[in-house]
Amino acid sequence: TLDFHPTGRHFLQIPGPSPVPDRILRAMSLPTIDHRGPEFGALGLRVLKGIKQVFQTQHPVVIYPASGTGAWEAALANTMSPGDHVLMYETGHFASLWKKMATRLGLEAEFLAYRGGDDRMPEAASWRRGVQADLIEERLRADRQHSIKAVCVVHNETSTGATSDILAVRRAIDAAKHPALLMVDSISGLACADYRHDEWGVDVTISGSQKGLMLPPGISFNAVSPKALEASRSAKLPKAFWAWDEIVEMNQGGYWPYTPNTNLLYGLAEACDMLLAAEHGGLAGAFARHGRWGEGVRAAVRAWGLDIQCADPAVYSPVLTGVMMPDGVDADAVRKIVYERFDCSLGTGLGKVKGRMFRIGHLGDCNDLTLMAALAGCEMGLKLAGVKLAGSGVQAAMEFFASQPAPKAA
């Protein structure tokens, strides 16, 4: 049990679920209403309008009462036919899980990966970087028959803390004059890192509630381009619950064909208001806040003398930072100390990097001072675990935050 920390707030410093602002928790405490009644229609229209702005799209955004994994399946089930070839890119654990799902659905999934070397993690070099769009272009050019039906990439790889340049992937597909759909998992990127569904020519963007949207887990999304909707009309994988057509149709009145997640939708309405509020700089303000937190956390990691999991500074994630342990240190042992002694949850290393790194989330109900506290917990935990630190990360992060102007009101 958790009764050894009876007061104060637990520090949920994992890269999702993220801490939920009180304002959203209060909004979700409203009574559950008739999902066929007039009040609900108004709520439905409100959230559908708000969420389109967050995805930066004019086209439909489908909301499912499911975790992100469901929305991954929805994206594939709506657009693909049995045996279709999909080109995916190994950025980390979540890209690998999505590939496994594609295979389970009966698709032929091919993985591209970074081909260069890596000093610290030669066996997981691709897990330290973003997508290399030139590899995608090269592969698509070689596919003269156009047998590849979709290119699937992860925008913010939550297992590593590396982002990918989605516009570069779009340009690679266009340069190869290839008709494949572009599908992007922005489950942990949306509302933290700049993301533009329409402008970047994405066909399906998948996202979830429990990260940048600052909601509890339980709803997820497919933003759908006209080309993807068209593809869904002839695609042959079985789809029923996930099928876009009936949902998009009923959404016109603010309703769903099944019982939607009413209280999470109250929360979503509030989250959209918070994220889009002009007085906080709108979406650009949210991206700037996360960028600042990421920089502060990386200043701390550098001062500790530890390596950042993402080896390419051009694609550092504003959402989370992966902290690599010196050889011989078990990252999960450090996490255990930080959890038990300081009531702070850090993200575990997943898949290929299990035990070799931990992750610090800097998203959700977060500010400079909550992050300072989390970094203090990490620093104390690292020392207690016997990790030799080059210097104080807390001091470096304080200096960084103090040197930055206060977040600007618009």
Which residues are annotated as part of the binding site for substrate? 359
- Assess 16 for contact with ligand PLP (CB under 6 A): yes
- Assess 185 for contact with ligand PLP (CB under 6 A): yes
Identity of residue 10: H
Cα distance between residue 87 and residue 408, in whole Å: 42
Distances (CA, A) of 54 to 147, 207, 271, 278, 299: 33, 11, 10, 13, 29
Nearest residue relative to ligand PLP (C-beta): 68
- Helical H segments across 186-325, by residue range: 226-234, 244-251, 262-276, 282-304
Cα distance between residue 103 and residue 367, in whole Å: 40
Task: Select from 149, 323, 120 the least CA-distant residue to 235.
Answer: 149
- Least distance to ligand PLP from the beta carbon of 374, Å? 19
Q: State the binding string over 91-120 for ligand PLP (x if CB under 6 A, else -).
A: ---x--------------------------
Tokens of 370: 């909550």
Nearer to ligand PLP, 94 or 339 (CB): 94
- Least distance to ligand PLP from the beta carbon of 208, Å? 5
Any idea what DSSP says for residue 67?
A: -
Nearer to ligand PLP, 176 or 193 (CB): 193
Cα distance between residue 57 and residue 198, in whole Å: 5
Distances (CA, A) of 123 to 113, 126, 330, 331: 11, 8, 18, 18
Nearer to ligand PLP, 71 or 272 (CB): 71
Cis peptide before 82 (omega within 30 of 0): no
Q: State the binding string over 213-232 for ligand PLP (x if CB under 6 A, else -).
A: ----x---------------
What letters, b where the CB count within 10 A reaches 16 and e where it falls short, cover 266-279? Answer: bbbbbbbebbbeee
Cα distance between residue 259 and residue 63, in whole Å: 12
Q: State the binding string over 119-158 for ligand PLP (x if CB under 6 A, else -).
A: -----------------------------------x---x
Name the one residue in this structure whose structure tokens are 């002009």: 278
Nearer to ligand PLP, 56 or 207 (CB): 207
Nearer to ligand PLP, 208 or 349 (CB): 208
- Least distance to ligand PLP from the beta carbon of 158, Å? 3
* Contact stretch for ligand PLP (CB under 6 A) within 62-70, 118-126, 244-252, 330-338: 62-70
Cα distance between residue 220 and residue 17, in whole Å: 13
- Assess 263 for contact with ligand PLP (CB under 6 A): no
- Assess 69 for contact with ligand PLP (CB under 6 A): yes
- By CB under 6 A, the count of residues binding ligand PLP is 12
Any idea what DSSP says for residue 363?
A: -
Cα distance between residue 12 and residue 20, in whole Å: 10
Nearer to ligand PLP, 94 or 400 (CB): 94
- Least distance to ligand PLP from the beta carbon of 328, Å? 28
Tokens of 394: 């807390």
- Least distance to ligand PLP from the beta carbon of 162, Å? 11
Which of 79, 188, 262, 321 binds ligand PLP (CB under 6 A)? It is 188
Cβ atoms of residues 46 and 63 within 8 Å: no
Cα distance between residue 173 and residue 68, in whole Å: 25
* Contact stretch for ligand PLP (CB under 6 A) within 30-38, 181-189, 300-308, 366-374: 181-189
* Contact stretch for ligand PLP (CB under 6 A) within 20-28, 63-71, 110-118, 138-146: 63-71
- Assess 321 for contact with ligand PLP (CB under 6 A): no
Cα distance between residue 367 and residue 339, in whole Å: 20
Cα distance between residue 269 and residue 156, in whole Å: 24
Tokens of 121: 């993690």
- Assess 187 for contact with ligand PLP (CB under 6 A): yes
Nearer to ligand PLP, 75 or 187 (CB): 187
- Least distance to ligand PLP from the beta carbon of 34, Å? 28
- Assess 212 for contact with ligand PLP (CB under 6 A): no
- Least distance to ligand PLP from the beta carbon of 187, Å? 4
Site residues for ligand PLP per CB under 6 A: 16, 67-69, 94, 154, 158, 185, 187-188, 208, 217
